[in-house]
Structure 1
Amino acid sequence: MMTSTDPFTIRGFSYERLAAAGGVRLNVAIGGNGPAVVLLHGFPQTHYMWREVATRLASTHTVIVPDLRGYGASDKPAETGPDTYSKRTMGEDVARIAAGLGHERFGLIGHDRGALVGVRAALDHPDAVEYLGILDVLPTLDTWEVLHGVDAKVAWHLYLMAQPAGLPERMIAAVAEEFFASFLDAWDADGSTFSPDVRRHYIESSMRAVDSIVADYRASAGIDVEQDRVDREGGRKLAMPVGVISQDWGSQLGFDPIAIWGAWSSDLTYEPIAAGHFMAEEKPEDVTRFVRTLAARSSTPS
């Protein structure tokens, strides 16, 4: 292992570039001791979003925090087909890096895009994922199903990045700084969650990853939906304890998050949280408590 001098690394953690699926290598922060838990970041961020939660969890867990493929300092393979950035491939990345560190079983916590990767990893690798924590997102298939009419404008970027390769990448690249900054600003209601340097880190990291970020989103409008539908129609469910915390999006968009997640899990806890979308940075103590409670529930005999 090596210690990075990058200012946007997690204090006290070491870093490795670990082999994932298809020869891709991920930038991974590793710290602590104990049962393994993997933390997956969201958009438009990097693994650094977990810094406060990760250092708290490290007192009792081995904490593994990668940049997803296509993000941060991880490899950004060219999109050669729908599988390149499918959540199935990205979930395989997670299973491989955990196994490469000697952890055949691990907890998995994801925020936003990372949570979608987490759902697919848990469905495809039920023997590896001990428990699954979800922060502020719905399953891929259900996301598209709840978006209707003018209320769907909150997810306008999903539709833009769902378009065939070429145009969305060029459009976003033309105003990349403004594009990525708009989400950090819109989803951070009072502008207090990020320091100026952290905000800049997320924007610049995303600006270097336009093509791969679009490919990630494009997959979620295509192959990811198809794979979710196969699982739903086949009655496949998440086999481990699942915990979900989120903002109260249901009242705005008219859906029942407990019913939606309950269709995927028979061992579910759900709680709304008084926080914005970037809750791991806004309220790290609450998110850490959520992870610890979920981990404890997974180890309690039923």
Structure 2
Amino acid sequence: MSRPARTTHPTPPLPPPVIPGFDQHRVPVSDGVSLHTAVGGSGPPVVLLHGFPQTHLMWRHVGPDLAADHTVICPDLRGYGAGDKPAETDGTVYAKRTMAADIVALARALGHERFALAGHDRGALVAFRAALDHPDRVTHLACLDVLPTLDMWEVMHGVSAAVGFHLYLMAQPPGLPEHLIGAAPDAFFGHFLDVWTSDRRAVPDDVRAAYLAACRESVPSIVADFRASAGVDVEHDRADRAAGTKLRMPVAVLQQDWGAALGFDAAALWRAWAPDLVHSTVTCGHFMAEEAPDVVAKALRELLGR
């Protein structure tokens, strides 16, 4: 007599990672675009913007620390994560000016006319533009491991520019970059998660999987974001430099010692934009909010106290 077949049940998928203690919202910001946003804590508002190739999850350590005495707002940028990804139509849909306006509208929708702003990588470029365009809204600015767009292009030259190969790839006209990256998105985006960190344990498997899944669904919009940084974003920075526009608020910059590696004075480049500047270098890798969250949280608290 044969035994009845054993019934097997598939293992349910693990829930996606979230920032502990934060509520999830979908907030309309402009032109039919909504941003997925995690919000936690109470007190003076701080908006934290993620970098590439990440989502708001990169703030999963720093956000709860600041939420002890601040309202902390962590959105997925336009074109990234679970936010909307409008098609590029005229070269400005992913301009940092457009993305910065999203953040001002987001804060207002959540009840905050003025707020502190910190960004990492791509998010730092959005934060920089928001602080230039909306100085009456941004009380404090922190930029992590980035140079302003115009300065970035000006310091990259020779073989040292190979470190930024992706910048040149995604600056190409629509078609080829999307096709190449879309053919192997996990290999492309995973490359940066591997080589830009000094400790791979800082991005655990579940978070890495969430980042790659989000990027896999966002290739055209991510490319459009980078393409804007080789076009309209440079134009906006150049116009502000010519006009002598400065960042009026206290500014903190944390970055790896790019200047020593590539031959320029990063602090001087930043000081040309930010008279009230504290510039610091870190010894960890690029993903500093995940690799050294205590260092980042301390720097942000010091900035907020200025």
Q: Could you tell me the TM-score, scaled by structure 2's length?
A: 0.94
Q: Which residue of 2 aligns with 1:291?
A: 300
Alpha-carbon distance in structure 1 between the residues aligned to 2:15 and 2:110: 22
- Deviation per CA, 1:10-41: give whole Å up to 9, x if none: 11111111111222000011110000000000
Matched, 1:40 2:64: no
Q: Which residue of 2 aligns with 1:22?
A: 31
Match of 2:112, SS state, is coil
Matched, 1:267 2:294: no
Q: Which residue of 1 aligns with 2:108?
A: 99
Q: Which residue of 2 aligns with 1:79?
A: 88
Q: Which residue of 1 aligns with 2:9?
A: none
Alpha-carbon distance in structure 2 between the residues aligned to 1:267 and 1:149: 32
Q: Is the 8 A contact 1:187 1:278 kept in 2?
A: yes
Structure 2: gaps spanning 5 or more residues: 1-13
Pairwise CA distance, 1:203: 1.2
Q: Is the 8 A contact 1:26 1:67 kept in 2?
A: yes
Q: AA paired with 1:272?
A: T
Match of 1:232, SS state, is helix
Q: Is the 8 A contact 2:44 2:70 kept in 1?
A: yes
Kindly tell me the number of residue pairs found equivalent between the two proteins: 293
- Deviation per CA, 1:95-146: give whole Å up to 9, x if none: 0000111100100000000000000000000000000001100000000000
Alpha-carbon distance in structure 1 between the residues aligned to 2:274 and 2:204: 37
Match of 2:186, SS state, is helix
Q: Which residue of 2 aligns with 1:186?
A: 195
Q: Which residue of 2 aligns with 1:57?
A: 66
Pairwise CA distance, 1:191: 2.2
Q: Where does 1:245-256 land on structure 2 (aligned, <5 Å)? A: 245-256=254-265
Alpha-carbon distance in structure 1 between the residues aligned to 2:159 and 2:203: 30
Q: Which residue of 2 aligns with 1:140?
A: 149
Partner of residue 153 from structure 1, selected from 162, 167, 192 = 162
Partner of residue 125 from structure 2, selected from 116, 119, 122 = 116
Q: AA paired with 1:49?
A: M
Pairwise CA distance, 1:192: 2.3
Partner of residue 205 from structure 2, selected from 196, 207, 219 = 196
Structure 1: gaps spanning 5 or more residues: 298-302
Match of 1:131, SS state, is strand
Alpha-carbon distance in structure 2 between the residues aligned to 1:44 and 1:291: 22
- Deviation per CA, 1:40-88: give whole Å up to 9, x if none: 0000000000010000100110000000000000000011111100000
Q: Which residue of 1 aligns with 2:183?
A: 174
Pairwise CA distance, 1:6: 4.8
Partner of residue 88 from structure 1, selected from 97, 102, 110 = 97
Q: Which residue of 1 aligns with 2:174?
A: 165
Q: Which residue of 1 aligns with 2:20?
A: 11
Q: AA paired with 2:113?
A: E
Alpha-carbon distance in structure 1 between the residues aligned to 2:86 and 2:70: 31
Pairwise CA distance, 1:189: 2.7
Pairwise CA distance, 1:252: 1.1
Pairwise CA distance, 1:204: 1.4
Pairwise CA distance, 1:9: 1.5
Partner of residue 214 from structure 1, selected from 211, 223, 227 = 223
Q: Is the 8 A contact 2:19 2:64 kept in 1?
A: yes
Structure number, greater radius of gyration? 2
Q: Which residue of 1 aligns with 2:140?
A: 131
Alpha-carbon distance in structure 2 between the residues aligned to 1:39 and 1:59: 15
Pairwise CA distance, 1:201: 1.3
Matched, 1:279 2:288: yes
Q: Is the 8 A contact 2:259 2:266 kept in 1?
A: yes
Q: Where does 1:221-232 land on structure 2 (aligned, <5 Å)? A: 221-232=230-241
Identity across matched positions, percent: 59
Alpha-carbon distance in structure 2 between the residues aligned to 1:65 and 1:6: 19
Q: AA paired with 1:262?
A: R
Q: Is the 8 A contact 1:108 1:130 kept in 2?
A: yes
Q: Which residue of 1 aligns with 2:75?
A: 66
